[in-house]
Amino acid sequence: MDHDIQLISEEFSKDLLKRNNVEQSVLETICFENDLKYLFLDPGIKERKKLGILENSTSVNAIKIREVFWLQRLIPNLTDANLVMIGATHISTFKELLRMRKIKFHIIEAYWEKEYFINFS
């Protein structure tokens, strides 16, 4: 299915690249090779501290703060066709943020390879 994607953004940060000892994420590489815009959505370590998010926090409040941050980062970069890659646990709450802002969206896959990942839960 062709969506004429112009921007790809993901739940990832530059600090996570450094922590994992890599220069680019897979999606960032795809964007570079296909002349697409790329955007890290997740706040880095310094931004997390400013937002009051403890390291590795998975609290409901931390998740809400991150998702609002993503939206604030995404809005000024939106194009006619955007691909946003986030974890399955964020789908229901992030889509509500998009709805509240009247941003059109379509969920392509809510839980990619669920059968595979369920073994790690």
The span from the CA of 103 to the CA of 83, in Å, is: 13
pLDDT tens per residue across all 121 residues of the chain: 357 899 999 999 999 999 999 999 999 999 999 999 999 999 999 999 999 998 777 888 999 999 999 999 999 999 999 999 998 889 899 999 999 999 988 887 776 656 655 665 5
Residue 55 located in a structural domain = yes
Q: Does residue 13 sit within a domain?
A: yes
Q: Give me the pLDDT at residue 14, please.
A: 95
How much is the pLDDT for 102?
Answer: 93
Residue 103: strand, helix, or coil: coil
Interacting residues of 24 by C-beta distance below 8 A, sequence separation 6+? 17, 32
Does 11 map to a domain?
yes
The pLDDT assigned to 11 comes to 94
Number of domains, the chain? 1
pTM, entire model: 0.84
Cβ partners under 8 Å of residue 11, min gap 6: 41, 42, 70, 85, 86, 87, 90
Give domain status of residue 29, yes or no. Answer: yes
Give residue 100's pLDDT. Answer: 94
Q: Is residue 1 part of a domain?
A: no
* Residue 2 falls inside a structural domain: no
